[in-house]
Amino acid sequence: MTNYSELLESGVIARARRDSAQAAHLLAAGKSDLAAAIELVSVSPKWSLNASYNAMHVGGRALMIAEGYRPASKAHHMAVVQFLRLAFETSDAVHSSVLEALDRLRRRRNRSTYGVDPEVYRTEALSAIETARELLSLVAGKLGELKDEG
């Protein structure tokens, strides 16, 4: 089991009731957001990127609730990223690259949403879609492992 004590002590996350049904609901919502991102990529790369990022954020929250945690800080987007880094802590370069891409997308979504860097290119949106697919797959695998343990 992963040790989240540092995130708990710093107030980034808080304990919550484990809820596998809610986790499944959130994962399904993430998959729905990914489908929307795919539909939007040709029409609006910006909203495609936003939907891809949301798919990853919601997927991360699915894993959090399945393990009995929730974001506790105002910076809940960063809390999800930090939680996932610990949840997938491994020497596996794939996990690391997906989580780095998630954090880059978190910052990119923020810049595009709040007008600092509003232009989003189709290539960025396509890359975000692939990252969302990978992350949701990792989360689904981890949820399966948790189900097998419980």
Instruction: State pLDDT tens for residues 61-83.
Output: 999 999 999 999 788 889 999 99
In order of 42, 48, 134, the CA distances from 73 in angstroms are: 35, 27, 26
Q: How confident is the model at residue 148 (pLDDT cuts 50, 70, 90)?
A: confident
In the prediction, which pLDDT does 17 show? 97
In the prediction, which pLDDT does 150 show? 61
Return the percentage of the chain with pLDDT > 70, whole number.
95
Query: Looking at per-residue confidence, does 89 or 38 come out higher?
Result: 38
> Tens digits of per-residue pLDDT, 89-125?
765 666 788 888 888 898 888 888 887 777 889 999 9
Q: Which burial class, exposed, middle or buried, applies to 8 when counting CB atoms under 10 A from its CB (0-12, 13-18, 19+)?
A: middle
In the prediction, which pLDDT does 94 show? 62
In the prediction, which pLDDT does 32 show? 98
Return the percentage of the chain with pLDDT > 90, whole number.
66
In the prediction, which pLDDT does 129 show? 97
Over residues 41-67, mean pLDDT: 96
pTM: predicted TM-score of the whole model, two decimal places: 0.91
Over residues 39-57, mean pLDDT: 95
Domains of the chain listed by start with CATH number? 18-149 (1.20.120.330)
In 3D space, the residue among 136, 107, 134 whose CA is nearest the CA of residue 49 turns out to be 107
Sign of CA dihedral 12, 80, 119, 33: negative
Query: Which residue's entry shows tokens 């995130």?
Result: 7
Tell me the three state secondary structure of residue 15: strand
